[in-house]
Amino acid sequence: MTEFLTVDGGTIAYDITGAGPLVVLAHGMGDSREAYRFLAPALVEAGHRVVTTDLRGHGESSVGWASYSRTDLAGDLIALVKHLGEPAVLVGHSISGGAVTIAAAKAPELVTALVELAPFTRKQQVKLSDLRVAGYRRGMTRLLGTALLGSTGQWAKYLDIAYPGVKPADWDARLAQITAKLEEPGRMKVLQAMGKISPADAGEQLANVTCPVLVVQGADDPDWASPRAEGEAIIAGLPAGLGTLTMIDGAGHYPHVQYPEQTLAAILTFLAGVRA
């Protein structure tokens, strides 16, 4: 059942299932909380109270916000955790990886640990040598096409690249849902706006994080020429000893959808260490 939280500028949609320590799941741009349709039930079964939320401008959350930066998204997550009434593990994918970093740095009393899935948490610098990597070059082309043209077709082609090899069983139906949502008034504009925003605000907060952090990267993620190098750079930006990197072989930019069992195992192992 969808619930709504009113914050400055609009409303944020979310749902709650399960009981136990709180875990809040935030998706990437152009998606919705349905991105966690496999991971959320597994976390509930593992003994967690799980909240999945739609980012501003996405899913059932409202459109028409003044801006869509990672700092803005972090503010929404902080407000949601305060509303829920207890500290949480924050899980963020892609743009939300940067958002949860900022939330943890700004409200450490509300965040017990972070899980960043294929996160954009640092300012990106494209080198000419990166373009020699075919997957990266193809993915970047489709992302640029989406940003410039506002095309759902270009986004669908990007997603096909971002899910290399294994597709989820409900791929066709889910892709149709994503496309239909982006065709609603204002939704594609949100995706275009987010795609133009630098992750620099998140990178500036890495050194201020005080809780343990798990970074999960798909080994075949086309969003980077070297997903491992990006993950290692994020870990290096954190205070010493806080970060752990897990690579998932075969996964692209959506490891939690392509390989939910492996992603779940990494998260549960990490959280067991946090509790210990």
**What CATH number is given to the structural domain containing 251?**
3.40.50.1820
Which value, to the nearest 10 degrees, does the dihedral of the CA atoms of residues 233, 239, 245, 251 take? -50
Strand partners, 90: 24, 114
Burial of 115 (0-12, 13-18, 19+ CB in 10 A): buried
Structural domain includes residue 149: no
**How much is the pLDDT for 31?**
97
Total domains present in the chain: 1
Domain range for 126 is 3-130+198-275
Helical H segments across the chain, by residue range: 39-45, 70-84, 95-106, 134-149, 152-162, 171-182, 187-195, 200-203, 227-237, 255-258, 260-275
Residue 133: per-residue pLDDT = 87
Would 166 be classed as within a structural domain? no
Give a yes or no: residue 38 inside a domain.
yes
Structure tokens that stand for 168 in this block: 């989820």
Query: One digit per residue, pLDDT tens: the chain, 276 residues?
Result: 899 999 999 999 999 999 999 999 999 999 999 999 999 999 999 999 999 999 999 999 999 999 999 999 999 999 999 999 999 999 999 999 999 999 999 999 999 999 999 999 999 887 778 888 888 999 989 998 998 999 999 999 999 999 999 899 999 999 999 999 999 999 999 999 999 999 999 999 999 999 999 999 999 999 999 999 999 999 999 999 999 999 999 999 999 999 999 999 999 999 999 988
pLDDT at 59: 97
Q: What is the pLDDT of residue 176?
A: 97
For residue 35, tell me if it sits in a domain.
yes
What is the C-alpha to C-alpha distance for residues 77 and 214, in angstroms, rounded to an integer? 18
What is the pLDDT, as a whole number, of residue 127? 79
Quick check: is 150 in a domain? Answer: no
Residue 247 lies inside a defined structural domain of this protein: yes
First to last CA, the chain: 34
Q: Which two tokens stand for residue 122?
A: 């640092």
Per-residue pLDDT at 125: 81
- Residue 156 covered by a domain: no
Answer yes or no: is 9 within a domain: yes
